Amino acid sequence: MNATDPLDSLRGVVGASHVLTGELTAGYVVDWTRRWRGQCAAVVRPADTAEVAAVVRICAGANVAVVTQGGNTGLVGGAVPEAGAIVLSTARLDDVGSVDDLSGQLTAGAGATLAAVQRSARDAGWRYPVDLAARDTATVGGTIATNAGGHHVVRHGMTRRHVVGVEAVLADGSVISHLGGLVKDNTGYDLAGLLCGSEGTLGVVTRARLSLVAAIDDVAVALVAFDSIETAVGAVGRLRRHLPEVEALELVFEDGLVAVGEVLGATPPVLGPAVVLVEAVGGPDPATALGDAVAELDGVIDAAVADDRVRREELWRWRDHHTETIARLGASPPHKLDVTVNIRSLPEFVHRVREVVARDAPEARLWLFGHVGDGNLHVNVTGLPPDDHTVDLAVAELVASLEGSISAEHGIGRAKRHLLGLTRSEAEIRAMRSVKEALDPQGILNPGVLIP
């Protein structure tokens, strides 16, 4: 950044104590995995939308890149700045408004955590169904920027489905605000929908109007061990057909459960070649319905069912602890891919990805887990040198050959930018680039992310 001028201007807008430089920026220039590292000129923490707009205008005037950062829980380097950029932290935009009990909506600041939104919804007798393991740190803005998925996509869809409107600052500092909560509003382009999944490249989301769903009282969770990946995947359709409502359908494997058990100091409740976590709701007695449905499945070798909160959370932790457990293994951060294939191709993908990693990196270890109901697997590989991309490319090529997606829910960020062309056509990438150039002609919003 040139001399003191823009930094002084930024201090004039947000106050000197909210412009961090030097060592104070350390936590903002490296991602959660520690694999993606950058540098920045400063971290700026505006208090409201007007300050965000002023910050963006100053940066546009000085041609300084703006990298918006929420909870910094992303896994693809999408919020890691390049040298010279400023990090625009949404931490202070964290208010959560009251729930409108007629529409079942609330307005939240971009910096509010997912957990805070869930809490407000719950206190008012509603529920915000977007949920993921990083809920205490991940923010509304970050989940919109990445169109986050998580545990309940199989029933409630991704974040975009719950965003009724947004307020955002565009690259020239102008503010678009559409927070009235109209569910039906076909007046031109859906700018909120466009910002969902745009990874900070088209605008800075400052607030969002979010739609809630009814709270649920009776919930049952089962951890079901299957004799093969084929029978585990085969159970997915049957469970969805036979249970009143399925809230989550997750998949883990024996080696992952054993590794999580070592960290937790506990023995996995079930073990088997493929283990599915099912969360069921609805009907008069979800626990009985779930038990009955599991009893009808092929290939079940063991099952544990829970319907009280404590035991349900105990079962969930065997799934939720995978990311943290894997992060502790190996001397360097894991390589992470986040892929979807058609659920019919999932068993084939599991067999072939094991072959690919064994062939290209026999010394490495492969960890698979994910959201089986969505055909989404997280492919983690430990024991690889950080800069060796051979396995990442081979897995992405395998996904492309099965007509899948190289990013199911984490986004493209810096990590997958060079792979985008594997599953998006040239015409699609040209269209994305045109949108980017139209909304951010100077290219100051999160450069180096998403668009190849």
Residues that bind ligand 2HG (CB under 6 A): 75, 133, 323, 336, 378, 380
Give the count of beta carbons closer than 10 Å to the beta carbon of residue 162: 22
Q: Which is nearer to ligand 2HG, 45 or 336 (CB)?
A: 336
Strand partners, 280: 220, 246
CB of 149 to ligand 2HG, least distance (A): 7
CB of 229 to ligand 2HG, least distance (A): 18
Task: Provide the terminal-to-terminal Cα distance of the chain, rounded to the nearest Å.
Answer: 25
Half-sphere exposure of 297 (CA within 13 A, CB side): 33
CA Rg, the chain, in Å?
22
CB of 201 to ligand 2HG, least distance (A): 21
Q: Which is nearer to ligand 2HG, 135 or 162 (CB)?
A: 135
Q: Which is nearer to ligand 2HG, 168 or 415 (CB)?
A: 415
CB of 101 to ligand 2HG, least distance (A): 32
| Beta strands 274-281; 335-340: pairing state | unpaired
CB of 27 to ligand 2HG, least distance (A): 20
User: How does DSSP classify residue 383?
Assistant: S
CB of 387 to ligand 2HG, least distance (A): 19
CB of 380 to ligand 2HG, least distance (A): 5
Strand partners, 275: 225, 252
Give the count of beta carbons closer than 10 Å to the beta carbon of residue 257: 25
How many residues would you count in the chain?
452
- Asked whether the beta carbons of 196 and 183 are under 8 A apart, the reply is no
User: How does DSSP classify residue 372?
Assistant: G
- Asked whether the beta carbons of 106 and 113 are under 8 A apart, the reply is no
Crossing angle for the helix pair 346-360 and 229-242, to the nearest 10 degrees: 150
Q: Which is nearer to ligand 2HG, 162 or 378 (CB)?
A: 378
CB of 132 to ligand 2HG, least distance (A): 6
Q: Which is nearer to ligand 2HG, 178 or 322 (CB)?
A: 322
Q: Which is nearer to ligand 2HG, 107 or 323 (CB)?
A: 323
CA separation, residue 308 to residues 135, 143, 286, 305 (Å)? 21, 29, 12, 10
Crossing angle for the helix pair 254-264 and 309-320, to the nearest 10 degrees: 110
- Asked whether the beta carbons of 175 and 191 are under 8 A apart, the reply is no
Q: Is the dihedral of CA 366, 371, 373, 379 positive or negative?
A: negative
Non-local CB neighbours of 417 within 8 Å, separated by 6+ positions = 448, 449, 450, 451, 452
Q: Which is nearer to ligand 2HG, 178 or 321 (CB)?
A: 321
Q: Which is nearer to ligand 2HG, 51 or 320 (CB)?
A: 320
Q: Which is nearer to ligand 2HG, 93 or 232 (CB)?
A: 232
